[in-house]
Amino acid sequence: MTQTAPAPLSSKPIPVRRRGSALARQEARAFYGFASPWILGFVLFGGGPVVAALLLSFAHWNLLTPPSWAGLANYQRMFADPLFYRSIVNTVYFAAGSVALGVITSFLLALLLNQKVRGVGFFRTVFYLPSVVSGVATALLWVNILNPDSGLINSILRVVGIKGPGWLVDPQWAIPGLILMSIWGAGNTIVIYLAGLQGVSPTLYEAARLDGAGAWHRFWNVTIPMMSPVIFFNVVTSLIASLQAYTLVLIMTGGGRPGTAGGPDNSTLMLGLYIYREAFEYFDMGYAAALSWAMFLLIGAATAVQFAFARRWVYYDA
Amino acid sequence: MQSNSSMPGRREWDRRSFLKVAGLSAFAVTSASFLASCASSSPTTTSLISSKLYSADDARKLNSSLEWTKSVVADPKSEVTITVAHSWSPSDYVRQRQFDYFFQKRHPNIKIVAENAGDSSADYLKKYASQAAGGDLPDVMYNGFNFAQNFISSGAFLALDDYISAETHFDADDFTKVSRFYYRRDGKNYAIPYDCGPIMLYYNKGIFQKAGVDVPDSSWTLDDLRSAAIATTSGTGGSKIFGLSQPVTPADTFWDTVRLSPFGGHYLTEDESGVLIDQPDSISAVQWWVDMYLEKGVWPSPAELQSMSQADSFTLGRSAMRVDGSWGASTLHDQATFDWAITDWPAGPKGHSTAAVGSAYAITSKSSQKDAAWIYLNEYLSTSGQIFMFASTGKGNMTRNSAWPAYLKSKYAPEGAQAIRNALNNYATSDGVVFGPATPQLTNAVSPIWDQVMGKSLAVPDACKQIAQAVKPLLKKNVAG
Amino acid sequence: MTASTIPTRGRPATRRSAQASQATAERTRRLLVYALLIFGTVVFLLPFLWMLSTSLKTAQEVLAYPPQVLPKTPQLNNYPDAWTALPFTQFLLNSVLVTGLSVIGNLISCVLPAYAFARLQARLRGPMFALMVATMAIPAEVTLVPTFIMFSKLGMVNTYWPLFLPAWFGYAYFIFLLRQFFLTIPQELTDAARIDGAGHLRILWSVFLPLSRPAIAAIAIFSFVGNWNNFLTPLIYLRTQNNFTLALGLSLFQGQYATQYNQMMAVGIVSLLPILIVFFLAQRTFIEGVRLSGLGGR
Evaluate whether A268 touches A253 at the Cβ level (below 8 Å): yes
pLDDT of residue B136: 84
3-state secondary structure of C181: helix
Asked if the structure places residue A63 within a domain, the reply is no
3-state secondary structure of A312: helix
Pick from C65, C94, C108, C194 the residue to mutate for testing the B interface (most B CBs within 10 Å): C65
pLDDT for C108 beyond 50? yes
Neighbours of B171 (CB within 10 A): 14
Pick from A32, A43, A45 the residue to mutate for testing the C interface (most C CBs within 10 Å): A45
The pLDDT confidence band at residue A78, using thresholds 50, 70 and 90, is very high
pLDDT of residue A261: 47
B124-156 in b/e form (b: 16+ CB < 10 A) is bbbbbbbbbbbebbbbbbbbbbbbbbbbbbbeb
pLDDT of residue B5: 37
Evaluate whether B235 touches B328 at the Cβ level (below 8 Å): no
The pLDDT confidence band at residue A6, using thresholds 50, 70 and 90, is very low
Question: Residue C104 forms beta bridges with which residues?
Answer: none
pLDDT for A9 beyond 70? no
Nearest to B137 by CA among B122, B125, B153: B125
CA distance from start to end of chain A = 13
More confident residue, C186 or A79: A79
Rounded Cα distance, A33 and C116, in Å: 8
pLDDT of residue B3: 37
3-state secondary structure of A262: coil
Rounded Cα distance, C263 and B93, in Å: 16
Give chain C's count of helices (H) and strands (E). 15, 0
Burial of B279 (0-12, 13-18, 19+ CB in 10 A): middle
Rounded Cα distance, C139 and A292, in Å: 6
Phi, psi of B253 (to 5 degrees): -70, -5
Pick from C252, C285, C290, C295 the residue to mutate for testing the B interface (most B CBs within 10 Å): C252
Rounded Cα distance, B354 and B345, in Å: 7
The pLDDT confidence band at residue C104, using thresholds 50, 70 and 90, is very high
Rounded Cα distance, B7 and A264, in Å: 59
3-state secondary structure of A59: strand
Rounded Cα distance, B42 and B140, in Å: 16
Query: How many residues in total does chain C contain?
Result: 298
pLDDT of residue C113: 94
Give CA B40 to chain center in angstroms.
Answer: 30
Rounded Cα distance, A270 and C160, in Å: 32
- Separation in Å, CA of C274 to nearest CA in chain B: 19
Please report, rounded to a whole number, the percentage of residues in chain C having pLDDT higher than 70: 88
Contact B1 A6 (CB under 8 A): yes
Rounded Cα distance, B92 and B54, in Å: 9
Q: What is the mean pLDDT of residues C105-131?
A: 91
pLDDT of residue A185: 80
Rounded Cα distance, A286 and A273, in Å: 16
pLDDT for A161 beyond 70? yes
pLDDT of residue A2: 39
What residue type is assigned to position A213 of the chain? A
pLDDT of residue A50: 86
What residue type is assigned to position C92 of the chain? L
pLDDT of residue A257: 43
Residues of B in Cβ contact (< 8 Å) with C105: 28
Residues of B in Cβ contact (< 8 Å) with A262: 444, 447-448
The pLDDT confidence band at residue A3, using thresholds 50, 70 and 90, is very low
B448 touches chain A (CB under 8 A): yes
The pLDDT confidence band at residue C294, using thresholds 50, 70 and 90, is very low
Asked if the structure places residue A5 within a domain, the reply is no
pLDDT of residue B459: 94
Rounded Cα distance, B190 and B187, in Å: 10
Rounded Cα distance, A290 and A58, in Å: 8
- CATH number assigned to the domain with residue range C78-285, chosen from the 4 options 1.10.3720.10, 3.90.1150.10, 2.40.50.140, 2.130.10.10: 1.10.3720.10
Contact A64 B132 (CB under 8 A): yes
Rounded Cα distance, B100 and B115, in Å: 12
Contact A64 B150 (CB under 8 A): yes
Any idea what the Cα angle at residue C31 is, between residues C27 and C34, rounded to 5°?
Answer: 140
A130, A135, A136, A141: CA torsion to nearest 10: 30
Mean pLDDT over all residues of chain B? 87
A234-265 in b/e form (b: 16+ CB < 10 A) is bbbbbbbbbbbbbebbbbbbbbebbbbbbbbb
The pLDDT confidence band at residue A180, using thresholds 50, 70 and 90, is confident
- Indicate the pairing of strand B354-363 with strand B188-189: unpaired
Which structural domain, as residue segments, surrounds residue A245?
Answer: 74-313
Q: How big, in percent rounded to 5, are the helix, strand and coil portions of chain C? A: 70, 0, 30
Rounded Cα distance, C265 and C54, in Å: 7
Give CA C118 to chain center in angstroms.
Answer: 23
pLDDT of residue B323: 95
What residue type is assigned to position A86 of the chain? R
pLDDT for C264 beyond 70? yes
Q: Which residue of B has its CA nearest to C150?
A: B134
Residues of C in Cβ contact (< 8 Å) with A233: 176-177, 180
Rounded Cα distance, B123 and C281, in Å: 35
Residues of chain B whose pLDDT is less than 50? 1-13, 37, 39, 481
3-state secondary structure of C256: coil
The pLDDT confidence band at residue A49, using thresholds 50, 70 and 90, is confident
pLDDT of residue B278: 93
Please report, rounded to a whole number, the percentage of residues in chain A having pLDDT higher than 70: 88
Overall number of domains in chain A = 1
Mean pLDDT over all residues of chain C? 83
Rounded Cα distance, B388 and B407, in Å: 10
pLDDT for A318 beyond 70? no
- Separation in Å, CA of A281 to nearest CA in chain B: 7
pLDDT for C1 beyond 90? no
Nearest to C102 by CA among C175, C176, C163, C172: C163
CATH homologous superfamily, domain B199-355+432-480: Periplasmic binding protein-like II (3.40.190.10)
Taking only the tens place, the pLDDT of each residue in B244-270 is 999 999 989 999 999 999 999 999 998
3-state secondary structure of A14: coil
Question: Residue B110 forms beta bridges with which residues?
Answer: B80
pLDDT for A300 beyond 50? yes
HSE value, Cβ hemisphere, 13 Å, CA-based, for C235: 26
Residues of B in Cβ contact (< 8 Å) with A259: 249, 251, 443-444, 446-447, 450
C6-45 in b/e form (b: 16+ CB < 10 A) is eeeeeeebeeeebeeeeeeeeeeeeeebeebbeebeeebe
Interfacial residues of A (vs B; Cβ cutoff 8 Å): 6-7, 9, 62-65, 140, 143-144, 147-151, 166, 168-169, 255-262, 264-266, 277, 280-283
What CATH number does residue A227 fall under? 1.10.3720.10
pLDDT for A1 beyond 60? no
Cβ-Cβ contacts under 8 Å between A and B: the total is: 91
pLDDT of residue C296: 33
- Which long-range contacts (C-beta less than 8 Å, at least 24 apart) are formed by B54-58? B54/B94, B54/B95, B54/B98, B54/B393, B56/B98
Domain with CATH 3.40.190.10 in chain B: 56-197+357-428, 199-355+432-480
Asked if the structure places residue A30 within a domain, the reply is no
C-facing residues of A in 65-84 (CB < 8 A) are none
The region that residue B361 occupies, defined by phi over 0 for left and psi between -120 and 50 for alpha, beta otherwise, is beta
Q: What is the pTM of this model?
A: 0.84
Protein fold of B56-197+357-428: D-Maltodextrin-Binding Protein; domain 2 (3.40.190)
pLDDT for C172 beyond 60? yes
Q: What is the 3-state secondary structure (H, E, C) of chain B?
A: CCCCCCCCCHHHHHHHHHHHHHHHHHHHHHHHHHHHCCCCCCCCCCCCCCCCCCCHHHHHHHHHHCCCCCCCCCCCCCCEEEEEEECCCHHHHHHHHHHHHHHHHHCCCEEEEEEECCCCHHHHHHHHHHHHHCCCCCCEEEEEHHHHHHHHHCCCECCCHHHHHHCCCCCHHHECHHHHHHHEECCEECCEEEEEEEEEEEEEHHHHHHHCCCCCCCCCEHHHHHHHHHHHCECCHHHCEEEECCCCCCCCCCHHHHHHHHHCCCCECCCCCCECCCCHHHHHHHHHHHHHHHHHCCCCCHHHHHCCCCCCCCCCCCEEEEEEEHHHHHHHHHHCCCCEEEECCCEECCECCEEEEEEEEEEECCCCCHHHHHHHHHHHCCHHHHHHHHHCCCCCCECEHHHHHHHHHCCCCCCCHHHHHHHHHHCEECCCCCCCCCHHHHHHHHHHHHHHHHCCCCCHHHHHHHHHHHHHHHHHHHHHC
Angle between the A82-113 and A271-280 helix axes, to the nearest 10 degrees? Answer: 120
pLDDT for A133 beyond 90? no
pLDDT of residue B82: 94
